[in-house]
Each structure stands twice: as C-alpha cells, then as structure tokens.
Structure 1
Amino acid sequence: MRVTLLGTGTSQGVPVIGCECEVCSSVDARDSRLRTSAKIEIGSTTVVIDTGPDFRQQMLVNKVKSLDAIVFTHEHKDHLAGLDDIRAYNYFQNQSMDIYANKDVEKALLRNYHYAFDPSVTSGVPKMRILNINRDPFELGGVEWIPLPVMHAELEVLGFRIGDFAYLTDVNYISEETFDKLKGLKVLVISALRKFSHHSHFELNEVLEVIERLKVKTAYLTHMSHLMGLHSDLESELPDGVYPGYDGLEIIGK
C-alpha cells in the first residue's frame, strides 16, 4: 500500500487569500497547502479520500490517470466541493465512480449535486454509484477498511484504518471505542489545525497527546492552517517520529 498526501491545508488552504504573513509569503513549497485529501493505492486499486475544492488540481499535479473509488470523511465543503470533476474519469473509464459515504454525506451529495441524480439530465454531469458505509468495516481494494468515528464539534466524522495505518481528519474528540480501534498502529495521519485551541479541531498539543497515548511509531500532521507556522520551524519543534505533512508526501510505499 502507498499513501500520498494530496492536500494538507485547512478549509481556506495556504496561502490564505489576502494574507501576507510569513507562512503565506513563504517560498518553501511545503508551506503551500491545498485542501486536505489523500490518495491510497492498494495494488492496482486507487482510492481518494475526500474531494475538496482543489480535487482537479490534485489529480493533475499527481498525475492520477485512473481512479477506482472515493471515500468521504464528512460533508463539509472543503472535503466535498470538487466532486463534479470526476466527470473526466467517468468519460475515460466509461463507468460511474464508486462513492463510499455515510448517510449524512449522501444527503449532502443529493443536495449539492442534485443535477447528477436528475434522470432528465443525460450529459455533462458526474456519474456516481453511492455505497453507504457506517461504523462497520467494509472491503475496498481487496483489504478491510475500518471506519473510525470521531467528533468534529457536533458532527461525526469518519476516519479510516487500513492494516497498521490510520487516517483521521477534522477531529476534536476521540471516544474510548475509537481509541480501542486505533491500538497497534504503526503509522497515523492526523489533523492538527494550529498551536492554540479551537472549538472543532485538535490543536497541536492535543494531537501530540493522542500520538503519545497510542504509542505510534510514526505520525504525520495534516489539515494545518497558516497559524501553525513555517514548515521548517514546525519540523524542528516536533518530537521524534512526528512530522508535518506536506502536499505530495508519500508516507508509505516502496
């Protein structure tokens, strides 16, 4: 399995429109962060987690020529807004896109992409096949995906565990039940918004406490805002085994 971080920024991305802070003005490519997303390659199967507003750019930059499925964590626009651009894959692959989503995400898809489900519209729309998921494990790419329910303020978000790897984004509370499902991890990707508190996201110290509790050997931070500081500074501040993610980073693979 190979995992690529397609985007590691928060809902506004980095740089933020109109901002001239040192992060938004940085010439270090690692400080430019598209909206959070990841590509999972399992054998010949390619899956993307979340299709934010930067989905098209992420597919082009990373040369993703074929795509088998999309798995959604939740329905917020910074994770959903780019879905219309699956039309290119519909055309070249001559098939609908498999969409793994819980009921809340399905409702958001029906609301935001209503034209895609209108039988009177026959062209120029994304074609998708929605496969409902909940808290039960499911198979994709020949391996088991274990949903990891976490809270994002009042909204339940799904993270995912695949073998010894787990991906958690937009989280500010992890239940004991989910902590149990995270035992024995080797690699964790987890969101860390900034260095001070936020009502719906873990801040850096809270994330480090989670990593310490899980005894994860290697962890990568994602969904970071410009308020997290320069990548190079953050890299030197983090404890051993914890790294700031950046767009295009391959964290598992040959």
Structure 2
Amino acid sequence: MSQTPPTNWPKKEVNTRDLTGRFLFLGTGTSVGVPVVGCSCEVCLSTNPKNKRLRCSVIFGLPEGNLLIDTPPDLRTQLLNNGIGVVHAVAFTHSHADHLFGLDEVRLFQFYLGHAVPIFCEPNVDAKIRKVYDYAFSTEAQTHIGSRPALDMHEIGLEPFEVLGATVTPIRLQHGPRFEVLGFRVGNVAYCTDTNQIPEESLAKLEGLDVLVLDALRPDPHPTHYSLEEAVEVAQKLGAKKTYFTHIADRMEHERTNAWLPEGMELAYDGLEIPLT
C-alpha cells in the first residue's frame, strides 16, 4: 500500500552526510540501551564513548541513497549524532519494539524525498506496523500535511530485492526457538543482529564475506541471543575477513573485551563507519 503525497507537497533542501559506499553503525546496544536506566555498573558509569550504546540500527550507503535497517526508539538522536539528514528507504529485521518504535521519525523524510518512504519488510512486520502505526494508514482527514508518516510498503521474503541501485539479500535467522528474523547482505557485508541460531540453509548466503556483523549480547548464554563465546565460534566457522559484534549489553566493557577477542574480531560501537564492499 502506497501513499501518494499531494502535488503541492513542499520539498525541503537536504543537509546530509554522504555515506555512499559506507556502512554506518547508528546503534549497537541491547533492547534497553547502555547505560541502563538505574544501573551503576562499571560499563554504565564509564566515560568511554564506546561503552555508550543506543538501540541497534545501521545504514547501508547505497549508490542511490541511504538504506536504514530498523527504526529503534533512539533513531532521531542517532541520525543527529551522525549527521544523517535523510533516509531514502527502510528495511526491517523484525518487529520487536527496540527495532520498530522509532518509525514515526521517518515522517520528515517524505518532505525531502517528495514521495512516501519505501519500507521493505516481511508480512508479519507489515501487520505489526499497520497495528502500531494505524494512523499512518488512516483515511481520516489529517490536520496538516506531514502529521503522519507516508509509507510505501513493499513485502519481502528470502529472495534478493533491488533498492537504491543495489541488490539486498535477506538471510533467515532464528531469534530464539520460535521467532524468525532477517539478516541482510549487501555485497560482501552482512548484518545479522538478534539471533542465536543461523539455519543450515542460510549459511551459503554468508560465504565469502569481507565483513560479518553478528549478535553477541553478553558473556553468559541467553535464550534468544548469542553469547560472546557462541558468537566467536559462529564467526570462526563463517570465516569472514572481519567480524564486528553488536546488540551488546552492559556486561562487556569495550576495550577489555576487544583485548580478549581473537584477531579479526571486535565489538562494534556507535558511530563506527566501515567500507561497504
């Protein structure tokens, strides 16, 4: 379902950082972020900016614009922190609150683009968006242009799709035993957050990577996320040239954890930018 802006939609000038050919971590934290509200642990009280982690999201800088992966509640702050003035399309890994509940922040981009923001997601995510953001799809009169996000919904599955001049390959992941999510691969970079199992049929899509981004929540096991040791084992099996871990809780201090990790593996951090190969 698309929403066509009126012909008199005022288009604004865009002031944004050029991310073409780059991959940017907007947020690398767990669902409650780091520091955690009310927590006085070493990591939450740390002054090292790499220990401050907003909720998970990344941007692929594609030939024709910025593809945002997920819209966390911290999205406005993330975009301002990184000088990102426009998002040209959004793809969703899944519908959990820490990956979805910043969607209203894309409302501004329809003015820069001059059309509704393309949204790529699985049917169950589409259904959740239509439920949580029902006002975006309402036929009732709005008080003014831009009072709701204009969303151009595109259903995806496990087949590659084209967006912004690039091919994006969805990757099936398990987020616990009964919940499926997507990872995404563009070129030789793959983003696989919120998972504790990569199905056998997905492994071929993760061969030959320059960069793997993989969930690693904390040192000890968790029912729906890889622990750090589990993530290291998976990364070694997949054999990417470089692995960055994300969706990190306050149990892992950045510098100390990196010192322990094998060569070619690091914790990601908010604002980290790497080449998109």
TM bin, normalised by shorter chain, reads over 0.9
* Secondary structure of the structure 1 residue equivalent to 2:61: strand
Q: Find the counterpart in structure 1 of residue 71 from structure 2.
A: 51
* Secondary structure of the structure 1 residue equivalent to 2:131: helix
Using the TM superposition, name which of 180-189 and 217-226 deviates more.
180-189
Change (3 A) 1:164 1:137: same
Q: Find the counterpart in structure 1 of residue 211 from structure 2.
A: 187
Deviation per residue, 1:76-116 (Å, 9 max, x gap): 00000000011111223332100001001101101100011
Q: 2:40 aligned with 1:20, yes or no?
A: yes
Report sequence identity in percent. Answer: 41
Listed as ranges, the matches of 1:1-254 within 5 Å are 1-122=21-142, 123=144, 124-153=147-176, 154-227=178-251, 229-252=252-275
* Secondary structure of the structure 1 residue equivalent to 2:171: strand
Contact persistence 1:115–1:121 (CA under 8 A)? no
* Secondary structure of the structure 2 residue equivalent to 1:226: coil
Equivalent-residue separation in structure 1 for 2:115 and 2:79 (angstroms): 18
Equivalent-residue separation in structure 2 for 1:98 and 1:165 (angstroms): 22
* Secondary structure of the structure 2 residue equivalent to 1:139: strand
Contact persistence 2:188–2:276 (CA under 8 A)? no
Equivalent-residue separation in structure 2 for 1:42 and 1:220 (angstroms): 20
Asked which structure has the greater CA Rg, the reply is: 2
Equivalent-residue separation in structure 2 for 1:66 and 1:201 (angstroms): 31
Equivalent-residue separation in structure 2 for 1:158 and 1:80 (angstroms): 14
Equivalent-residue separation in structure 2 for 1:101 and 1:253 (angstroms): 22
Equivalent-residue separation in structure 2 for 1:103 and 1:245 (angstroms): 30
For normalisation by structure 1, the TM-score amounts to: 0.97
Deviation per residue, 1:196-223 (Å, 9 max, x gap): 0000001011111111111111000110
Contact persistence 2:24–2:271 (CA under 8 A)? yes
Give, as a single letter, the amino acid of the residue that structure 2 aligns with 1:159: G
Q: CA deviation at 1:63?
A: 1.3
Using the TM superposition, name which of 2-11 and 117-126 deviates more.
117-126
Contact persistence 2:23–2:273 (CA under 8 A)? yes
Number of aligned residue pairs: give it.
253
- RMSD between superposed Cα atoms in Å: 1.2
Q: Which runs of 4+ in 1 moved over 4 A?
A: none
Give, as a single letter, the amino acid of the residue that structure 2 aligns with 1:144: T
Q: CA deviation at 1:253?
A: 5.5
Contact persistence 2:64–2:165 (CA under 8 A)? no
Using the TM superposition, name which of 160-169 and 18-27 deviates more.
160-169
Equivalent-residue separation in structure 1 for 2:249 and 2:153 (angstroms): 31
